[in-house]
Amino acid sequence: MSIVYHESSKIFHLYNETVSYLMMVMKNGHLGQLYYGKRIRDKEDFSYFLETCERPMTSCVYDDDRTFSLEHIRQEYPVFGTTDYRQPAVEIRQENGSRISDFQYCSYRIEKGKPKLSGLPATYTEDENEAETLKVLLEDAVTNVQAELSYTIFEKYGALARSVRFFNGGERPVRLSRAMSLSLDLPDSGYVWQQLSGCWARECHIHNRSLEPGIQSVGSMRGNSSHEHNPFLVLKRPSTDERQGEAIGLSLVYSGNFRIQAEVDAHDTLRVMAGIDPETFEWKLEEGESFQTPEAVMLYTDRGLNHLSQSFHKLYRTRLARGYWRDRARPILNNNWEATYFDFTEERLLKIASGAKACGVELFVLDDGWFGERSSDRAGLGDWKANKNRLPGGITSLADKIEALGLKFGLWFEPEMVNRDSDFYRSHPDWILATPDRHKSQGRYQYVLDFSRKEVVEAVYEQMAKLLREAKISYIKWDMNRSITECYSPAWPADRQGEIYHRYILGVYALYERLTEEFPKVLFESCASGGGRFDPGMLFYAPQGWLSDNSDAMERLKIQYGASLCYPISSMGTHVSATPNHQVYRNTPLHTRGNVAYFGTFGYELDLNGLSEEERQEVKEQIAFMKNYREVLQFGTFYRLKSPFEGNEAAWMVVSNDKKTALVGWYRILNDVNGRYTRLRLSGLEPEVCYRNVRTGTCHFGDELMYAGLITSDETAGQVSAGAKPCADFESRIYVLEGIEP
């Protein structure tokens, strides 16, 4: 891995074994983008990649050079209004009303490792030899605003982490009205755009489209990264599939309003950008003040989508997620939400917990409803004290009782919210985000607290920290169940109202940082009505997130499959829930619910006492299975094999790091009769290792399983012979393959 600057050609080359990234200082002092892709050999000069030509109807920078128009040059961090008519990466509103800027190259610096982004989540290094960081300083001579572009290249990944820091070195205030984290101009638009979109209970569905001239984008203006669009994008060549081909992944390490967009110009150049949503953002920079953008990570592969995802998984699991739980197998939990909703007493909770314990569960999680006057979702948020009618001895005593059962205890919070009917709101009605003289819209009968104010964050911290100090709490589910409306903070002046969405998220991050630092062994699970804020920003604080409120196994196939494009298996909260399922009222077999949930953190979202003896036995076996294989499942290498978006079957697998164990999950949505023979070509095995199929007892070499395939045909073909168990709808199997000495 190396970052070199070629003085004579003014070219920067960032490369490791996989990728090369080339840019140069152009004659107008701006940075031009030369190349991003598979590693190429370094040399002094690549300036010919900066193609220009004389085109009609073009505005040019120089009187005597009709070829030099920014409109037709691939750039690194394009500005607004100076011969480039495409979307800029930065816009600065100045006192005289101008929005023009002209960022000229000043200097560069190369550092070992990767500096922290203060107050923001970001990838990190543990040893400074893992990465190198290039900082390129640019300055606009009229405003004296500086932009420091930061690029970190990691030794082991085809990943580049980018961000920008602005500093007002002038004497007059300016307003940043657009400050993207990353801009990338690619020489052609021959990519398929792949996004993860959906809505509540249908998160992370994969959508593909080809790029057309004009602008296409995904984003959020809701205050949270959103169920609707994940801050992630893949650009893949049309021929790329899971096993081969070129792809670029873009991922924004941020949990608030964002935009990821691509613009195809008339000459087929592709400009991609990622950053804070410019529509809902403006930041005032007084003299001497600075602004740091969130980090964006771009990852290139020429080895197919599985490789792209595996690289993201590894980077995010080990160099974005942090703390005690990062590398630890996650406890198998039982959450009471779908078991009781708001209808519980301490006695009922203890019954559920002991039933769970008897099956092998390790952690009992008390969800919503334990605090204040919370008997429904209309009251109580903000009052983080136990409801004594339900929990006479409070949380401390309940936690002690749960621990006495031999379980760990976890608790639900929704720290950012308040109900109008709460003591917290009654004592601080002005602590919510609301615009003066305007209607205050509610969502789920709640308001959003003004986390742009330190005193608000402090007051929530005090309540949470008190409980964490007093009671034996091992896990926190941090929920967030509505998006922001009428965004305004009376604590800030009129000319800083454009900062509130971002300041809000900074407040959320600050609270997370403080709590995770003070209570390092507590396992945090992020949640926002399921996957409303399932993003890399959250992963920095909470190593796992409740991926979706939809716990139906068939729906989960799509959600988990989609999310796996970017997010590691260890980050996905996956639970077995009751049937008929509470979201889609579907009945799926218990084994299938387990077989889907194994590929995540695993837990139960029902009262296990309500199951039959036979089912409870099955649950015990599921838990024993998960305990046996969770290290492989959560920390092995994940491969997508068959997409639930494309047919009646889905499949995926995980291979252990030593390649001695593989677990294949195979799922069929609807049953068919007298169907075809089916095989699944596996991935990631050692060709010469012989694997024993634990299900059939047969042995197969890795090459056979990868190239000829694992036979998954249905033995019954619609007939049930004596003693055989019939297949039905929503069938699934887990194939365990254990490497044996040949």
Active-site amino acid positions: 479, 549
- Sequence letter at residue 418: V
Distances (CA, A) of 733 to 267, 356, 389, 652: 50, 24, 45, 11
Q: Does residue number 337 form part of the binding site for ligand GLA (CB under 6 A)?
A: yes
CB of 425 to ligand GLA, least distance (A): 18
- Considering only 549, 649, 714, 731, the residue that binds ligand GLA (CB under 6 A) is 549
Task: State yes or no: residue 574 binds ligand GLA (CB under 6 A).
Answer: no
Instruction: Please say which residue, 335 or 570, places its beta carbon nearer to ligand GLA.
Output: 335
Q: How many residues sit in the footprint of ligand GLA (CB under 6 A)? A: 11
Q: Which of 148, 302, 367, 383 binds ligand GLA (CB under 6 A)?
A: 367
The answer to whether residues 101 and 79 touch, using CB atoms and an 8 Å cutoff, is: yes
Stretch that binds ligand GLA, among 315-323, 434-442, 523-531, 587-595 (CB under 6 A): 523-531
For ligand GLA, which is the closer residue by CB, 76 or 368? 368
> Closest CB to ligand GLA among 189 and 334?
334
Q: Please state, as a whole number, how many other Cβ atoms lie within 10 Å of the Cβ of residue 565.
A: 25
Pick out residues in 107-166 that bind ligand GLA (CB under 6 A). none
Examine residue 543 and tell whether it contacts ligand GLA (CB under 6 A).
no
| Residue 481 interacts with ligand GLA (CB under 6 A): yes or no | yes
CA atoms within 13 Å, Cβ hemisphere of 173: 9
CB neighbourhood size of 514 (10 A): 15
- Dihedral (C-alpha) 546, 550, 556, 559: value to the nearest 10 degrees? -70
Of residues 293 and 529, the one with the C-beta less far from ligand GLA = 529
Map the footprint of ligand GLA across residues 421-480, applying CB under 6 A.
479
Closest CA to 264 of 325, 326, 213: 213
546 binds ligand GLA (CB under 6 A): yes
Site for ligand GLA in 409-428 (CB under 6 A): 412
Q: Which is nearer to ligand GLA, 193 or 413 (CB)?
A: 413
Give 300's strand partners.
248
714 binds ligand GLA (CB under 6 A): no
Q: Taking CB positions, which residue lies at the least distance from ligand GLA?
A: 368
Asked whether the bond before 580 is cis by omega within 30 degrees of 0, the reply is yes
> What burial letters (b/e) apply to 62-81, b meaning 16+ CB within 10 Å?
eeeeeebbbbbbbbbbbbbe
Q: Does 527 bind ligand GLA (CB under 6 A)?
A: yes
Only segment of 296-304, 526-534, 592-600, 687-695 that touches ligand GLA (CB under 6 A)? 526-534
Using CB under 6 A, which of the segments 216-224, 227-235, 525-533, 562-570 binds ligand GLA? 525-533
Q: What is the 3-state secondary structure (H, E, C) of 218-263?
A: EEECCCCCCCCEEEEEEEECCCCCCCCECEEEEEEECCCCEEEEEE
| Least distance to ligand GLA, CB of residue 382, Å | 14
- C-beta closer to ligand GLA: residue 549 or 552: 549
- Tell me the three state secondary structure of residue 475: strand
3-state secondary structure of 454: helix
Half-sphere exposure of residue 647, counting CA atoms within 13 Å on the CB side? 10
CB of 337 to ligand GLA, least distance (A): 5
CB of 132 or CB of 549, closer to ligand GLA: 549
**Nearest distance from C-beta of residue 146 to ligand GLA, angstroms:** 43
Phi, psi of 235, deg, nearest 5: -110, 115
Taking the C-alpha atoms of residue 671 and residue 678, their distance in angstroms, rounded to an integer, is 13
From the list 275, 224, 310, 121, the residue with the least C-alpha distance to 530 is 224
Q: Rule CB under 6 A: which of 271-330 touch ligand GLA?
A: none
Q: By C-beta, is 331 or 684 nearer to ligand GLA? A: 331
Q: What are the CA-CA distances from residue 439 to residues 102, 281, 435, 445, 486 (Å)?
A: 42, 22, 8, 14, 8
Residue partners of 539: CB distance under 8 A and separation at least 6: 121, 316, 320, 321, 545, 567, 571
Residue among 269, 529, 564, 581 that touches ligand GLA (CB under 6 A): 529
Quick check: 356 and 364 in contact, CB under 8 A? yes
The reply to whether 531 sits near ligand GLA by the rule CB under 6 A is no
Q: Does 611 bind ligand GLA (CB under 6 A)?
A: no
Identify which range of 36-44, 201-209, 509-517, 527-535 contacts ligand GLA by CB under 6 A.
527-535
Give the residue, chosen from 530, 537, 702, 739, that forms a contact with ligand GLA under the rule CB under 6 A.
530
The DSSP string of 10-40 is: TEEEEE-SSEEEEEEE-TTSSEEEEEEEE--
Residues 102, 143: Cα–Cα separation, whole Å = 9
Shortest separation between residue 201's beta carbon and ligand GLA, angstroms: 9
Q: With contacts defined by CB under 6 A, name the span among 51-59, 273-281, 447-455, 522-530 that binds ligand GLA.
A: 522-530
Identity of the residue, 73 or 538, whose beta carbon is nearer to ligand GLA in the bound complex: 538
Task: Please say which residue, 502 or 533, places its beta carbon nearer to ligand GLA.
Answer: 533
Asked if residue 251 lies in contact with residue 231, where contact means CB atoms within 8 angstroms, the answer is yes
368 lies in the binding site for ligand GLA (CB under 6 A): yes
Q: Output the smallest distance, CB 584 to ligand GLA, in A.
A: 16
Query: What is the rounded CA–CA span in Å between residue 700 and residue 696?
Result: 11
Residue 603 in the binding site for ligand GLA (CB under 6 A): no
* Minimum CB distance to ligand GLA, residue 610 (Å): 19
Look at residue 690 and give its three-state secondary structure.
strand
> Under the rule (CB under 6 A), what is the footprint of ligand GLA?
337, 367-368, 412, 479, 481, 527, 529-530, 546, 549
